[in-house]
Structure 1
Amino acid sequence: MSDLRTRAEEWLAQDPDPDTRAELQAILDAGDGGALADRFGARLEFGTAGLRGELGAGPNRMNRVMVMRAAAGLAACLPPGGRVIVGFDARHGSRQFADDTAAVLSGAGLHPEVFADPVPTPVLAHFTRSFDDVVAGVMVTASHNPPRDNGYKVYQADGAQIVPPTDTEISAAIDAVGPVNELPLGEGWPVHDTADLYLDAVSSLRLGDAGGDLSIVYTPMHGVGRDVLLAAFDRAGFRAPIVVPEQAEPDPDFPTVAFPNPEEPGALDLALDLARERGADLVIANDPDADRCAIAVPDADGWRTLTGDELGGLLAEHILHHTTGDDRLVVTTIVSSSLLRAIAAGHGVRFAESLTGFKWIMRAGAPSDRMVFGYEEALGYSVGDDRGVIVNDKDGISAALAVAALAAGARRDGRTLPDLLDDQARRYGLHATAQVSVRAADPQVIAATMARLRQAPPSRLGGRTVESLDDLTHGSDGLPPTDGLRFRLAEGARVVIRPSGTEPKLKCYLEVVHPAGDDVAAARAKAAADLDALRADVSAALS
């Protein structure tokens, strides 16, 4: 307790934030050892995802001290005098964190430029790659995390997220930073007050004609995507989407959703209600920083939300129909559907598989490849045309435009997106996917579960024999090592289990593949039953 108290008092002496100072002083005055241990017994670790965590005082929280230390560590790893683009979302503390970052970078001899207002993450990523003298980008965001969280993402000069060893170099430099109240701080820096550079790129995508009569309901999920998406649709010639009014304005408390993630049950309820009321053709949702895109469409049973893998397959084929050249590359991750491999083979283009996350997707393939599409099952897509992808990260706004063009083209042909999914099932086989997630408040539980599965792996899952097990900590198929297990099952089924990189939970990715023939409905029913059996066995194996 005395050591924790000493660390807390040292922290208090350097903290520039009156709110976190008051929080910490109240804990010290109350002698609350548990609260001190929670804040000072561990710390947020800087990694390839930067920093992300709950707001509050201490090294195990997101706060101004942690942000200033991160900025100072980043500055120590950048060439002197370079430009750094800084963006921020509308979460609690984001604007202040962006200003603190700029002040530290400026004091270290760099030239920061900050957006005047909150922006979507893909806007920051695109700006970072667009100037020869930009050496890094910083985005203050916690994406789709709960309201109490915030985060700090770092981009390399190419507009892609950092990967090892850059993360460890920055982390080591952060460790060497002294008290933040002793850092030299600059003041006054250029401000970006428009997203036009990004909008010009997105609206010039050549992926089919605009659908002027397409009726779209859109929700930004209380985030920052609305204004940029509406401007992009207008420039591209699309009819303005109908915005869900209750979720239209940025609100860091996300009052209408339990969890601001379009993947979560109930997150799209307001959008679907409005779509039914208006007789819309399509629902599009972004997460709060607009780097993810979710889609729902009407079908025979009402409205259907497409999975990330389903939309990934549709977008891939749409983009390949609108691009040319055998140097084209499409990329997905080891936990996403194997359908993309089949689509690439069918179109005679190059395919690559990466570790989970767009930091890896954007670095897949060979230097001679021209990436036109990358996606991961968690609703992340990077779209392009013959020029290649326009953002070296996931981008929910350009993906929304591509979906709108896809849906408009299908409508002109008298088809629907479910019709196109059935066409793919007949052509490539039905690739059906599902997930199992298990939350654990104690990270040690996650580590112990992974260790147990390595030592005593199941021999059967979902009624199928486990034919092989890849321990991804040793690397696999030329990929870097990662904490994960891949079970290859009989008849082309697959299960991948890994700890989440951003949340305290284990994530399991299930896939079965069935020939569809002329009876796609029967194949879907069989696949659903197989996935249920897999889900039950995987859940039991994790308990």
Structure 2
Amino acid sequence: MSDLVRRAEEWLAQDPDPETRAELQEILDSGDAAELQDRFGAKLEFGTAGLRGELGAGPNRMNRVTVMRAAAGLARRLGAGKHVVIGYDARHNSDVFARDSAAVLNGAGLRVSLMAHHWPTPVLAFAVRHLDADAGVMVTASHNPPRDNGYKVYWGDGAQIVPPLDEEISAAIDAVGRVDGLPLGDEWETLSDAAIVEPYLAAVSALPLGDARDLRVVYTPMHGVGGEVLLRAFTTAGFESPSVAEAQFEPDPDFPTVAFPNPEEPGAMDLALQMAEKVGADLVIANDPDADRCAVGVPIPDGGFRMLTGDEVGGLLGEYIINHTSSPDRLVAASIVSSSLLGKIARAYGVRHAETLTGFKWIVKAGDGLVYGYEEALGYSIGSDQGLPVRDKDGIGAALTVAGMAAQAKREGRTLLDLLDYQAGKYGLHATAQLSFRVADLSLIVDAMERLRSDPPRTLGGRTVLSTDDLSMGADGLPPTDGLRYRLDGDARVIIRPSGTEPKLKCYLEVVIPVTTDTSTARAQAVHDLSSLKSDLSMTLGL
């Protein structure tokens, strides 16, 4: 306890934020040992996703001290004279953390360009290459709960950092002393809308969108920062401006209308879907709060709407992009937990396909000639024969491309559901689902993974487990990662891995059902099979 108090008092002495100082002083005054242990017994680890965690005082929280240390470590790794672009979303303290980063980096002798406004993550990722910067920082926690914030680092290639860069930056952060001794600068460039947003809009509106534009769209930015930029993107590309879910349009860090600001969460899309029914929309589009993800909803024949899965959209976009590009050496890629459908589509067209570890930091490094990449968690990077304008997931470029694809289908008298049925008939119905377990204690996830490794299941969902791959040992030429993959008889697959950004254990399920008569029969079979897999996994994991 005495060591925790000493560390807390040292932290308090250097903290420039009166709110977290008061918060920490109250904890010290109360003598709350458990709270001190939680905040000072561990620290947020800087990894390939940068930093992400709950706001509050202490090294195990996101705060100004944590951010200034991260910026100082990044500055040490880069060296004086390098150029860093900084962006931020509208979460609590995002603008403060961005300015603190600018001050620390500039004080260390680096050139800094700070965005003038809270803009989407893909705008920052685009800006790194557009401005020929050496690195980028985006202050965001994406779709995490309101009390979280984060710090994402990009390198000069416009992609998120990967090992060993994360380890090198982490080591440099650990070597940083007290932040009240850091030299601070105030001579940075402020990036205007014209300097960066307009070039980004020009780039995404030049994607292969086709020429059909007759489409009625309803849109929600989920209280995030995508709204203004997406509406401008649609009009720049020649589409009618979408109708918006007004209650969710303005950025709000408390996300008052949703339990979690993630389009995949139950209830998050209710307002947009209600509006879509009211106006008779052809398409519903949602971004998550930093607009790097894109969710898609479509009307169903009997009335109402349904949300497409990330894998359904991923397969549709994959075939669309292949049909709208012509480079003979083009490549499409998806993460290992995404559907196997994209690989089958690529083989049918004679196009190269790559499977990567989870995360766009790996997807965009799949190889030369990459024109499209996706992951099942609603992330898509759309390109052309000239490559990817954004080397990260881009919810706005994806929204435009989905709109172009839907408008073309409408012109032909079809819908996205018709395109899904076409793919099912051609490649087999690839049905996927996810099972997630959110925990308060991360040791529960560690224990679950250890149990699975020591006593692997022999059957799942009534199917025999044919093989087990421990991804921590590396598999199929991929770098090691904490995960397990089970291949089941009857062309099915299960992958289990801890989330890299949330306290969750995630299970990714896929069954492939041949379409012999009609897709409705195959879909019913898939629902049954996925349900059986979920039941078995829940019992096996015991979470």
Q: TM-score, normalised by structure 2?
A: 0.98
Please name the residue that 2:209 is paired with. Answer: 207
1:210 CA drift (Å): 4.2
SS of 2:171's partner is helix
Please name the residue that 1:441 is paired with. Answer: 440
Contiguous gaps of at least 5 residues in structure 1: none
Counterpart of 1:295, as a letter, is V
State yes or no: 1:69 paired with 2:74.
no
Please name the residue that 1:91 is paired with. Answer: 91
CA contact (8 A) 1:439 1:505 kept: yes
1:37 CA drift (Å): 1.2
Counterpart of 2:266, as a letter, is P
| Worse-superposed segment, 476-485 or 184-193 | 184-193
Please name the residue that 2:296 is paired with. Answer: 295
Equivalent residues in 2 for 1:79-478, closer than 5 Å: 79-132=79-132, 134-194=133-193, 195-211=197-213, 213-301=214-302, 302-365=304-367, 369-478=368-477
Counterpart of 1:240, as a letter, is S
State the alpha-carbon separation in 1 of the partners of residues 422 and 530 from structure 2: 21
SS of 2:230's partner is helix
Counterpart of 2:7, as a letter, is R
CA contact (8 A) 1:160 1:359 kept: yes
| Worse-superposed segment, 201-210 or 440-449 | 201-210
1:94 CA drift (Å): 0.3
State the alpha-carbon separation in 1 of the partners of residues 78 and 497 from structure 2: 32
State the alpha-carbon separation in 2 of the partners of residues 115 and 330 from structure 1: 32
1:33 CA drift (Å): 1.4
Of all paired residues, the percent bearing the same amino acid is 68
Please name the residue that 1:516 is paired with. Answer: 515
- Give CA deviations for 1:32-82 in whole Å, capped at 9, x if unaligned: 112111111111000000000000000010000000000000001114211
SS of 1:320's partner is helix
Equivalent residues in 2 for 1:39-58, closer than 5 Å: 39-58=39-58
CA contact (8 A) 1:207 1:385 kept: no
1:326 CA drift (Å): 2.4
Please name the residue that 2:23 is paired with. Answer: 23
- Give CA deviations for 1:234-264 in whole Å, capped at 9, x if unaligned: 1100000001100010000000000000000
Counterpart of 1:386, as a letter, is D
1:387 CA drift (Å): 1.0
After superposing on structure 2, the runs of 4+ consecutive aligned residues of structure 1 that deviate more than 2 Å are: none
Counterpart of 2:273, as a letter, is L
CA contact (8 A) 2:208 2:324 kept: yes
1:388 CA drift (Å): 1.4
State the alpha-carbon separation in 2 of the partners of residues 209 and 80 from structure 1: 47
CA contact (8 A) 2:208 2:321 kept: no
Counterpart of 1:445, as a letter, is L
CA contact (8 A) 1:88 1:140 kept: yes
**How many corresponding residue pairs?**
538
State the alpha-carbon separation in 2 of the partners of residues 3 and 325 from structure 1: 62
Counterpart of 1:186, as a letter, is G
State the alpha-carbon separation in 1 of the partners of residues 56 and 490 from structure 2: 50
